Structure 1
C-alpha cells in the first residue's frame, strides 16, 4: 500500500513537471519505451497513415474535455482530453500562460518524441493569434500539439489520473490508444476546430 502511494506520488510529480513546450535536448537517446526509431521509420516510409481510416476534421470542446474525429460529418471516434494547466481560463493569449488555444487550425506535422508519445502539431499561432499578441505587446507562443502520455505512463496505468487533470503547457493530451487512432487517421492539412 505504501509502495503504491509512493509510486502514485512520484507519477503525479512527473506528470506536473512534464509538459509539451519546445523539445529539449536529451543527449543521445536512441530508444525509449515509445520506440522512437520505429516511430521515425513509420514517418520516413510514409506508413504512418491508413487511407481507409483517414478523417477530415478534429473537433475539441475544451469545457467538455472532449476530442472527436469526423469523416464527411460522421463521428468516427471520441475521447477524453487534458488541456493546459490554465485550460479553463480562456483562449491562449501569450507564451507561457499554460492555456490551450481556441480557433480554427490545421495539423501541420507529425512528431515522434522521447518525452511524450506521438505528437500532432497544430498551426498555432495563426494570423489572428499573432495580431492579438502583437497588439498586447506579447509573444503568442507556439509548438502546440495533440499528444499522448508522458513516458512514465507508457502502459496507460495512470490514464484515469492524467485524463482527469489539466497538466500540459497548452497542448491537448489524450491516451496513447487515442493518439494511435489519430496518428493512423490524420494526414497533414486536416482541420482542427478548438471551442471553449
Structure 2
C-alpha cells in the first residue's frame, strides 16, 4: 500500500515538473470589461479595443505591404477599410495567434468583380511569429493585408476579443 502511494506522489511530481518545463501558455484569461468594438486607424498605425465609448487598450500596428488605400483585389497587399466583425480564430497560426476579420463582405465582392478579379480573403489580426519578427525592424508593413501586433499583444487581444465583435478599419 505504501509503495502505491509513493508511486502516485512521484507521478504527480513528474507531471508538475513537466508542466513547469513547458513554459507559459500563449492562452491567457481576461476578466475585465467586455470589448464591444475594435477601431483601427491605418494612417496613425493604431488599434483600440473599446468597451462602450471607453478605450481599454491601444496598440501600435503594422499593415499590409501596400498600406495606403482600401483593399480591392486579392494580392494587392492592402488592408481593407470599412466595417467588419471578428468571425474566427486560429490558435495554431503561423503568426503565433490570430483572429479573423470578416472581409470580404458583399460590397467588397462587387468591387473586386468590377476589376474582374477575386477580392481575396484571410484577413486577420495576428502576432508576428518567427517570419514577422525577422521582417519587422524599420518596416512594420509586411503582410499581405493583415493587421499585426506583437506576439505578447495578440495573446491579450485573443483573450479579450470575442467572435462577433465589430471592427471599424479607417483609412
Shift of 1:159: 9.3
Other structure's SS at 2:112 match: helix
Q: 1:160 to 1:97 in 2, by over 3 A?
A: closer
Map 1:180-191 onto structure 2 (within 5 A): 180-191=155-166
Q: Partners in 1 of 2:117 and 2:131 — Cα distance? A: 34
**TM value normalised by structure 2:** 0.78
Which residue pairs with 2:66 in the alignment? 86
Q: Is the 2:61–2:140 Cα contact (8 Å) retained in structure 1?
A: no
Structure 1 match to 2:110: 131
> How far is 1:51 from its partner?
4.9
1:142 and 1:159, CA in 2 relative to 1: closer, same or farther beyond 3 A? closer
Give the paired residue count.
148
- The normalised TM-score by structure 1 is 0.68
RMSD (Å), alpha carbons:
2.3
Q: 2:93 aligned with 1:105, yes or no? A: no
The answer to whether residue 95 in structure 2 is matched with residue 119 in structure 1 is: no
Contact 2:108/2:119, CA 8 A, preserved across alignment: yes
What is the CA distance between 1:160 and its match in structure 2?
6.9
Residue 144 (structure 2) aligned to one of 169, 176, 188: 169
Which structure has the bigger radius of gyration?
2
Query: Which structure 1 segments of 5+ residues have no match?
Result: 1-34, 43-47
